[in-house]
Amino acid sequence: MVGNENKFAYERLKNDYNFNSYPTVFFDGGYKVDLNATKNSYENSIIECMVRNKTSLPVGVNATWIECPCQQGLFIEMAIKNNYNKTYNGILRVYTTEVNSRWHDYYALQYHFGFLEFAFVRNISILPKDEVIIPIT
């Protein structure tokens, strides 16, 4: 999240995370916060989150850019299956990012997958063994 360049990213950092300084990397929605900016530290954080998140809630995402005279933007379709034996309740946040960001870091290196804003934020509830399809335009 390039908070110094993007107001949506700054608000997310300020309101939803205990952001303190650069570089700060948030893994798994802030479950793990890493201030140590080393490859080894990041790898350990990713592994810790993967072990924690063995889930039976697979999510499929398909995004298509639409550009025609009457409309321009993204069409996103999410398919979420609840393989648990109980109802899943949670918040679904879908980020819009840039693969190659328009922003550069202190060393003039281009950011990748820079957060632009949310495409979707909503509470969701999925019954056991059910699948939901969520279209977002």
What is the number of other CB atoms lying within 10 angstroms of the CB of residue 82? 20
Contacts of residue 63, Cβ cutoff 8 Å, sequence gap at least 6: 74, 75, 76, 77
Same domain, 96 and 120: yes
Same domain, 90 and 108: yes
Same domain, 47 and 78: no
In this structure, the answer to whether residues 72 and 135 fall within a common structural domain is yes
100 forms bridges with which residues in the sheet?
Answer: 112
Instruction: Write down the pLDDT at residue 29.
Output: 76
Assess whether 48 and 66 both reside in one domain: no
* 46/59 same-domain check: no
Q: Which domain holds residue 9?
A: 1-54
Label the pairing between strands 32-34 and 25-27: antiparallel
Q: Count of domains in the chain?
A: 2
Q: Write out residues in the chain with pLDDT < 50, as ranges.
A: none
pLDDT of residue 87: 94
Same-domain status, 59 and 105: yes
